[in-house]
Structure 1
Amino acid sequence: MTQEPATQKPTTTPADVTVFPTERHTGCPFDPPAELTALREEQPLRRMTYPDGHHGWLATGHGVVRAIMADQRFSARYELLHLPMPGLEGVEIPPAAPGDFTGMDAPDHTRYRRLLTGKFTVRRMRLLTERVEEITAAHLDAMAAQGPGVDLVQAYAHPVPAQMICELLGVPYADRERFTGQVATLFDQRASTEDKGAAYGAVESYVKGLAAAKRAEPTDDLLSDLTGTDLSDEELAGVGGLLLAAGLDTTANMIALGTFALLSNPEQLAALRAEPELAGPAVEELLRYLTVADPAVRTALEDVEVDGQVIRAGETVTLSFQAANRDPAQFPEPDRLDLRRRATGHVAFGHGVHQCLGQQLARVEMQIALPALLRRFPTLRLAVDPSEVPMREQNNIYGVRSLPVTWDRD
């Protein structure tokens, strides 16, 4: 019998990527940029020339992305990174501020993470279920009173996680509207640089003052709990600001974009309405399918071999979670939304030691908010043509700017 020759890797080297793809040219607003898919199919780890001229890498394959995120020989320190987005050439990235542990490595990252891990366990987040149900019910009542034709982002998707994270941190009720409005400006791509700068200063100042107030007079909330640790007021403010940013914009966009995706897939929507037990798997599949937070960036601290290639010390890697979560090598028929899929292993929350700390809270909020919305409004539908829904393009957190919805009155 003649033995077939072993398959060899191509001897040609693909041209460097020079721009991280963000444009979604296809008619489906839920699919990653087609260029990312093409790049992953051609080579899941390839060279990339960054806007500042740095010669680094782009990772798009699921296995490659997880391997790099799990390898502590790759650093998350801001000052070591080169950014893949144009417009920031020549800008020197300062080290992470006190408390901003997402831009730190061990042992600093470990110290902060250890203080917070016990406060975000699955068990502790499930204890918040009743409160999340009360918050969603109140906002659904307000939607019903307002009547058909509301913007789901403003009426529901944003205020539910905003109220939850404010309660978790202990933001006084009287301050919440102004506070969450300032946070919204930080993530609004239409806001001017001046407005974003002013909002950042206002949020930073507020959280610092709140941390000092909690230290002087603790209440029953997460920020007060942390005053019993060795964190300084500046560190408390940094941790509080980070948790606020991580717990608000991503979850709000997942609720809104998840609703849009379900309304665009009637069979999947009907299944979730009919089978409440699908809530858990449905959220995991939506996280995989939509992957609103993208990309991540890491820099090698030493030479590391990944997927048969050597990433040299000092070289930056941009990791696309969107491309990884649509990798057919991990998820068969990845471009199909299937709420019954076992979407385990997705990287929507990252992977490794920097995996999102608040992921369990996000899961609880989504598992309650989405089914509750569909139960309350059985005839919920878009109030505009899908092509008219304004998307949040060119942004680290993808989503919709607004989602006009309507329903039949009882």
Structure 2
Amino acid sequence: MPDTRVPAYPMKRGCPFDPPPELARIRAEDPVTRVRLWDGSHPWLITGYDDQRAVLRDRRFSADVRRPGYPHVTAASQARRRRSRSFISMDEPEHGRYRRMLTSTFMIKRVEALRPRIQKIVDELIDAMLAGTPPVDLVSAFALPVPSLVICELLGVPYADHDFFQRCSRTVISSRSTPEEAVAAGDELKEYLIRLLGRKADEPADDLLSRLLVEQAGTMTHSQIADMGMLLLIAGHETTANMIALGTLTLLQHPDQLDELREGDPGLVKSAVEELLRYLNIVHSGRRRVAIEDVEIGGRLIKAGEGVIVATDAGNRDENAFSDPDVLDIHRDARHHVAFGYGVHQCLGQPLARVELQVVYSTLYRRVPTLRLAVPLEEVRFKHDMLVYGVHELPVSW
């Protein structure tokens, strides 16, 4: 098909809280269709919920970024991921071997044991915020520090270095970074983690990086452990931080539901977390795969070597999976959403993210009942330029 007949991807949003409207049209008219990427390639875009789950659970679709035909998000992402590959960019059995090294850390029971500590972090940050003078930026004062402190304690990374690793993270996940900038930022962060691992090898502590050093001695190099640590560090704070800020902004636009949530019913809080994950979809550039065999999806033949993009933001708004999908309803049972992916590659850290969001959503609005946006909504800068969607700043008052 000529380029003029193939829509460019990603597409522009209309409402900042909704996926691009073009995705809904494609899902209704041609749910498995070609799109055009930055490099001129034409991978398949999967927009229907059932088709997405079919792709994500099918091992004939590879997550290996080194395979020809893999649809990279940007030139910078392509350069960085080819230079430093984490286990989420591997297939079985390699993926499973590395993932099992981390499974016990992120088990629901283990993560639930962290709830009191997460509660303490949240309360202390709210105390500090309330001791200041409004307005404040909720992102820098609260949304970013909460998951950063948690993942730092879990990994054994000094939180005192947060300005450094957050700067590197921003460069790595920015769609505006050049390949040289993204690679340099990734290398800088990896070298930092390798130096940290060297110190931990001499003096192991009670943290995940120390445990990996001990348990995988002789089987994993410091470089391989650093790759794993870099993934967990970046994903462990960027994703949850954006959900905290964007979720708060969304609830401020739905004051009736925010009032209900403020009452703190644990069941409603859990339901609200799942609904906001479904509704907001901070992963807005899709989950990427490449076919390693010919596979039929949604009546279309996807041939070996062809790229596939699973647009989970479109899947989470599929009316065949969710009634009134464009309506935020914190009473909805949305647990079957695909915000964390699906299949063997679904997000390893989802139990931790859920607990962090539950603590935040049950605490912030109760303790700051008059929380409000300090600027017009039109002045809020949304992260159209980042691989993880959210807001750059969120000025609030009370």
Give TM-score, length-normalised by structure 1. Answer: 0.89
- Which string of whole-angstrom CA distances, capped at 9 and with x for unpartnered residues, describes residues 343-393 of structure 1? 021110111000000011111110001221101110001001111111101
Contact 2:125 2:142 in 1 (8 A): yes
Which residue, 50, 53, 71 being the options, matches 1:83?
Answer: 71
Contact 2:76 2:175 in 1 (8 A): no
Q: Please list the CA deviations of residues 87-126 of structure 1 after superposition, one character each: whole Å capped at 9, or x if unmatched.
A: 679x77864735x011110121111011111211000100
SS at match of 2:389: coil
Report if the CA contact (8 A) 2:272-2:331 is conserved: yes
Answer yes or no: is the 8 Å Cα contact 1:23–1:394 preserved in 2. Answer: no
Deviation at 1:186, TM superposition (A): 3.5
Give runs of aligned pairs for residues 147-296 of structure 1, distance below 5 A: 147-187=133-173, 196-227=182-213, 228-229=215-216, 230-277=219-266, 278-294=268-284, 295-296=286-287
Answering whether residue 123 of structure 2 is matched by residue 133 of structure 1, we say no
CA distance in 1, matches of 2:5, 2:37: 10
User: What SS does the corresponding residue of 1:78 show, helix, strand or coil?
Assistant: coil
TM-score after normalising by structure 2: 0.92
Cα displacement string for residues 184-203 of structure 1 (whole angstroms, at most 9, x for unaligned residues): 44345677776655432321
Mapped partners of 1:363, 1:383: distance in 2: 28
Structure 1 residue 171: deviation in Å?
A: 1.2
Query: Relative to 1, partners in 2 of residues 1:174 and 1:257: Cα closer, same or farther, differing over 3 Å?
Result: closer
Match of 1:101 in 2: 87
Q: Is 183-192 or 255-264 further displaced after alignment? A: 183-192
Please give the alpha-carbon distance, in whole angstroms, between the structure 1 residues aligned to 2:326 and 2:350: 23
Question: Using a 3 Å threshold, how does the CA distance of structure 1 residues 236 and 263 change in structure 2: closer, same or farther?
Answer: same
**Bigger radius of gyration among the two:** 1
Could you say if the C-alpha distance between residues 269 and 132 of structure 1 is closer, same or farther in structure 2, counting changes exceeding 3 Å?
same
Structure 1: segments with no counterpart, 5+ residues: 1-14
Aligned-partner residue type, residue 39 of structure 1:
I
Partner Cα distance (1:93, 1:71) in 2 = 26
Number of aligned residue pairs: 389
Counterparts of 2:122 and 2:176 in 1: how far apart (Å)?
Answer: 28
Larger mean CA deviation between 280-289 and 222-231 belongs to 222-231
What are the within-5 Å matches in structure 2 for residues 317-336 of structure 1? 317-336=308-327
Quick check: 1:47 aligned with 2:34? Answer: yes
Q: For the Cα contact (< 8 Å) 1:22–1:394, is it kept in 2?
A: no
Which secondary structure does the structure 1 equivalent of 2:44 belong to? Answer: strand
Q: 1:353, 1:161 → 2: CA distance? A: 24
- What is the aligned-residue identity percentage? 47
Q: 1:179 to 1:288 in 2, by over 3 A?
A: same
